[in-house]
Structure 1
Amino acid sequence: MLTREQTQQILQTADLIYSAEAIESTVQRLADEITDKLSTQCPLVLCVMKGGIVFSGHLLPKLMFPLNFDYVQISRYHNKINGGEINWLMFPQDAIKDQVVLVIDDILDEGITLAEIRKKVLDCGARAFYSAVLVDKDIGRVKSFQADFVGLTLPDRYVFGFGMDIHGAWRNLPAIYALPSEPGK
């Protein structure tokens, strides 16, 4: 866990990537796209914890159709900046069968986590699977997973804010920031 001074230093040296206003307009656009596609389905919406909570909290009130809500919790980062082994913490298996499922997550990085969630959702008998991500990181190579609804594209940098954390801190920021670029990148 970082000290208050360390978290302040991180924010002071970070680069603003997307403002709160840019994010809010993007969330509205995504809500409109999701409504066009799923408003007649009464989907089960699953928030990917913890990162997807802020995005979900802004998106759900803009979805003006009936839905059911639950969450999944899967971890690959364990408060580190590099992903590791997948660890399932919570999955609502009983609620999935015969449902149209929309998974909401903060970021599509390599696609490993969302691909694993899609596999598990479909293995549990979902009728259809959709995914919405606030941001898609441009990692410079083809990913194993593509989201159905994508908000913004990010450079290949470590980002935080609006649900995404840096060593467990700064999920609560209303904007998205990146760690400073390394020289030569």
Structure 2
Amino acid sequence: MLNTQQAREILANADLLCAADTVQTALHRVAAEINASLADQHPLVLSVMGGAVVFSGQLLPLLDFPLDFDYLHVSRYGNAQRGGELHWKVAPRENVQGKTVLVLDDILDEGETLHAIKQRVLELGATAFYSAVFADKDTGKVKPIRADFVGLTLPNRFVFGYGMDIHGAWRNLPAIYAVKEN
């Protein structure tokens, strides 16, 4: 974890990738796409903690259909900048059985986490699986999964803000920043 001074220094030296108004425009577009696709489904929406909390909290009021809500918590990153072993803190529950499931996540990086979530949800008996990510990182590599709904495509840099953190800090920023490249 960073102390306050370290966190402020990282932000002061970061590159602004997407201003807050760009973030909000993308959020509203994704909501419209989801409304058009899932309006008659009454899906179970699963938010991936903790990164998707900002995206989920702002997206849900924009969805104009009935839904059920729950969460799961899985991570490959912790406070690291590179993915590691998958760690389930709260796995999907049996309430996915027989449901259309929409999973909300902050970023599709390598795709391993979202792919594992999809496999687990379908194994538990969901009838359909959809995913919405606020950001899709352009890694230049083939990913094991593609999100059905994407807010923004970001460059292959370490990003933070709008739910994404850097060493635990700055999830609360309304814009998206990237760590300065050396």
Q: Which residue of 1 aligns with 2:73?
A: 73
In the TM superposition, what is the alpha-carbon distance from 1:28 to its structure 2 partner?
A: 0.6
In the TM superposition, what is the alpha-carbon distance from 1:92 to its structure 2 partner?
A: 3.6
Check conservation: 2:109, 2:136, Cα contact below 8 A: yes
Q: Where do 5+ consecutive residues of structure 1 fail to align? A: none
In the TM superposition, what is the alpha-carbon distance from 1:91 to its structure 2 partner?
A: 2.1
Counterparts of 1:25-174 in structure 2, within 5 Å, are 25-174=25-174
Check conservation: 2:50, 2:163, Cα contact below 8 A: yes
In the TM superposition, what is the alpha-carbon distance from 1:181 to its structure 2 partner?
A: 1.6
Check conservation: 2:92, 2:120, Cα contact below 8 A: no
Partners of 1:155 and 1:128 in 2: CA distance: 30
Partners of 1:13 and 1:19 in 2: CA distance: 16
In the TM superposition, what is the alpha-carbon distance from 1:160 to its structure 2 partner?
A: 0.2
Measured against aligned partners, the alpha-carbon deviations of 1:64-115 in whole angstroms (never above 9, x if no partner) come to 1100000010011111111110000112422110000000000000000000
* Aligned CA-pair RMSD: 0.7
Q: Where do 5+ consecutive residues of structure 2 fail to align? A: none
Give runs of ≥4 in structure 1 deviating > 3 Å.
Answer: none
One-letter identity of the residue aligned with 2:74: I
What is the aligned residue count?
182
Q: Which residue of 1 aligns with 2:181?
A: 181
Q: For structure 1, which segment, 139-148 or 99-108, has the greater mean C-alpha deviation from structure 2 after superposition?
A: 139-148
User: Identical aligned pairs, as a percentage?
Assistant: 57
Partners of 1:83 and 1:92 in 2: CA distance: 21
Normalised by the length of structure 1, the TM-score is 0.97
Partners of 1:29 and 1:72 in 2: CA distance: 25
One-letter identity of the residue aligned with 1:134: F
Partners of 2:11 and 2:151 in 1: CA distance: 23
One-letter identity of the residue aligned with 1:22: T
Q: Name the SS of the counterpart of 1:71 in structure 2.
A: strand
Partners of 2:47 and 2:18 in 1: CA distance: 22
Partners of 1:103 and 1:74 in 2: CA distance: 12
Check conservation: 2:92, 2:121, Cα contact below 8 A: no
Normalised by the length of structure 2, the TM-score is 0.99
Q: For structure 1, which segment, 59-68 or 88-97, has the greater mean C-alpha deviation from structure 2 after superposition?
A: 88-97
Measured against aligned partners, the alpha-carbon deviations of 1:129-181 in whole angstroms (never above 9, x if no partner) come to 00000010000111111000011110000000000000000000000000012
Check conservation: 2:107, 2:133, Cα contact below 8 A: yes
